Amino acid sequence: MVSSSGTKLLLASGSPRRAEILSESGFDLKIIPASVDEDAILTQGSDLVSAVRALALAKASYVAGSNVGEFVLGADTIVVFENEVFGKPESSEQACEMLNRLSGRQHKVVTGVAIVNPVGQSHTKFVSTSVVFRNLEDDEISKYVSSDLSLDKAGGYGIQDSSFAPVASYDECYLNVVGLPMCATSDLLEKSGFEIGESLACTGHSVPRVFHDMESL
């Protein structure tokens, strides 16, 4: 998926996974991480979906404010377990705690996506995916966390981290769990007037949804 006019897309995020997803889809990217108070925005209300959309828009608006006339994409992903938000763990101990609580259980991954177009118009959307973890052993949690792969990810894990592979199954969009649902992103870009040279089917819906034998959970 590429812009038919060669338009650059500004990514208001320092996430290497979002950058990789967009680059592999053919976008010409400029990465400008936004500086916003994520915790303050997420705790403004009890509606987590509205909060994560607001956070994505805050990121996009922050970068758009100093880059007038550009298309800016903002996104944020949270893990929700028993009505509690799991963001990025602040320490190895917190990462271990998160993973122990998620072990063998179901949780939701919610990503808010926002676009601010060159004339300042904004559009937002969210995608929610239910994820089931396999039962995790204490030693494999410790090994994974000690690798530092968990510390920059919501919930302390990456579904794409094949050496750990914590996910037994999921519904809806795989790329949403990675950090950027292209199904929502491509829709928002088109609504915002971003010229798309070729159509894109979200590859996140073509990935196998069961990774482990559920009877072993």
* Tens digits of residue pLDDT in 149-201: 999 899 999 999 999 999 999 998 999 999 999 999 999 999 999 987 655 55
Q: Using 50, 70 and 90 to split pLDDT, how confident is the model at 132?
A: very high
The answer to whether residue 173 sits within a structural domain is: yes
Give, as one character, the DSSP assignment of residue 155: G
Strands 71-81 and 84-86 come out as: antiparallel
Alpha helices (H) along 66-181: 92-102, 138-146, 174-178
Confidence (pLDDT) at 137: 97
SS3 89: coil
Model confidence at 62, in pLDDT bands (50, 70, 90)? very high
Residue 41 lies inside a defined structural domain of this protein: yes
Asked if residue 3 belongs to a domain, the reply is no
Whether 61 is covered by a domain: the verdict is yes
Q: Give the list of residues 6+ apart from residue 16 with CB closer than 8 angstroms, or none.
A: none
pLDDT score of 11 more than 50: yes
204: in domain: yes
pLDDT at 216 over 70: no
Does any domain span residue 14?
yes
Q: Is residue 4 part of a domain?
A: no
Three-class SS state of 93: helix
User: E strands of the chain, at which residues?
Assistant: 9-11, 29-31, 71-81, 84-86, 106-116, 122-133, 167-170
Mean predicted confidence (pLDDT) in 108-133: 96
Q: How many CB atoms sit inside 10 A of residue 213's CB?
A: 9
pLDDT category, 214, cuts 50, 70, 90? very low
The answer to whether the predicted template modeling score (pTM) of the entire model surpasses 0.85 is yes
Look at residue 202 and tell me whether its pLDDT is greater than 50.
Answer: yes
Element (H, E) at 188: helix 182-191
Q: What per-residue confidence (pLDDT) applies to 197?
A: 63
Note the pLDDT tens digit of each residue in 74-101.
999 999 999 899 989 999 999 999 999 9
76 an active-site residue?
yes
Report how many domains make up the chain.
1
Average pLDDT of 38-50? 78
Domain assignment present for 90? yes
Which listed residue (76, 138, 148, 187) is catalytic? 76
What's the whole-number average pLDDT of the chain? 88
Segments forming the whole domain that contains residue 173: 9-216
**How many residues would you count in the chain?**
217
What is the domain-level CATH number for residue 121? 3.90.950.10
CA distances from 152 to 5, 6, 58, 145, 167 (A): 34, 31, 20, 11, 18
Angle (CA) 70 74 77, round 5°: 170
